[in-house]
Amino acid sequence: MPTVAFVFPGQGSQAPGMGAAVAVASPAAAAVFAEADAALDEPISRLAWEGPAETLDVTRNAQPALVAASVAFLVALREGREAAGLPPLAPAFAAGHSMGQYSALVAAGALPLADAVRLVRLRGDLMQASGAGRPGAMAAVIGLDDARLPDVVAAGSAAGILTVANRNSPGQVVLSGERQAVDAAVAAAKAAGARRAIELPVSVAAHSPLMADAAAGMAAALADVAFADPHPPLLSNAEGASIEDAAAARGELVEHLTRGVDWVAVVERMRAAGVDTFIEVGPGRVLTGLIRRIAPDATAIALDDPSAPGGLAAIDL
C-alpha cells in the first residue's frame, strides 16, 4: 500500500468554474460550498463557479473560494471511495502551500471549515492593508542556478528589504520585498543567467517582513479561535517541521505571513519519511507539477485532472 500525503494549493490556483463539477457530482461537496456561503454570508460558491475572473482573483475572494473548493474535492474523494467500497485513504501528512495550510488544517480536523473561510477572508484584508502602508513587490525567477541565488538576494538586499518568498522547485523561486529591492534582484538575476526574471502582478509583498502588521492582526484573531491537534500532522511552510498540536498549528498561520514557503524542503521531508504518493486536493495542478520536478521518482496525482488514475471517485490505492 502506498504511503500517501495530501497537499493543498494556495492562491494562484483559482479559476472560474473551480469545484462546480464536483459539487454537481457529490452531495458532500455541494454541502461544503453551502457551508462556506453561510459562514461568509455571501455566495462565494457562485463566484468560484461563475467568476468573473477579475473578481475571483481579488485576494479576499480567492482565498476563501480556494479553501471551499479544496475541501469540496476532499469530501468528494472520501464520498466516492466509500460508494465504491474502497477503504478511506489515511495520509501520513497534510501540507498546504501558503494559504493552502488552512485547507490542510480543515482536512486534518484541526480547524472547522466555517472558521477557515472566515479567517482567510480576514487574512486577505490584513495583507492588503499591511501592504498599503509599505508598498512592496514580488518577482518570479526561473532557470537560475541555485548556487547563484545568494548573490541575487544579496544584490537585492543592498537596495532594501528582500526575502525568498517561495522556493517552489529547483530553479524556481519567488522573491518578495520593497519594490526597489525586488527591481535590483531582478536585474541581478538576469545578469546571473536566469532564464526568466519577471515582476508578478500583485499588490503586496507576501511572505516578507512587510507583512508584519498582517501577522499581528492574524495573531489577535487566531487567539479567539479553537484549534484541535491535527491528524495527520502538517508540515510548516518555512522548513518542513512537523506540526502535531493545536498551538503549533495556530503559530504556523501567523509565522508564515512573514516567512518564506520552502516547498522543496516540505516535499523532501515527506519523501524522507517514506511518502511515495502525493495527492493534490483542490483546483488546478500547480503542486503536482512542482512535486514531479522535486521528486521525479514519486507519484503525483491531481484530483482536478480527468486523467487521474481511477478518476476522482475512486483512486485505486
Does the annotation count 97 as an active-site position? no
Contact call for residues 316 and 293 (beta carbons, < 8 A): no
Give the β-pairing of 172-178 and 162-169. antiparallel
Nearest to 133 by CA among 54, 56, 61, 217: 217
Q: Point out the catalytic residue in the list 103, 207, 236, 256.
A: 207
Cell of 232: 495527520
From the number of C-beta atoms within 10 Å of its C-beta (0-12, 13-18, 19+), residue 240 rates as buried
Q: What is the pLDDT along the chain (317 residues), one digit of tens a residue?
A: 689 999 999 998 999 999 999 999 999 999 999 999 999 999 999 999 999 999 999 889 999 999 999 999 999 999 999 998 999 999 999 999 999 999 999 999 999 999 999 999 999 999 988 877 677 999 999 999 999 999 999 999 999 999 999 999 999 999 999 999 999 999 999 999 999 999 998 878 999 999 999 999 999 999 999 999 999 999 999 999 999 999 999 999 999 999 999 999 999 999 999 999 999 999 999 999 999 999 999 999 999 976 554 444 445 56
| Active site annotation includes 231 | no
Query: CATH says 4-130+209-302 is which class?
Result: alpha beta
Which of 70, 98, 176, 208 is catalytic? The answer is 98
Q: Give the whole-angstrom CA distance, residue 77 versus residue 303.
A: 8
Q: Confirm if 232 and 108 have CB atoms less than 8 A apart.
A: yes
Q: Which is the CATH superfamily of the domain at 135-199?
A: Malonyl-CoA ACP transacylase, ACP-binding (3.30.70.250)
For the chain, the domains span: 4-130+209-302, 135-199
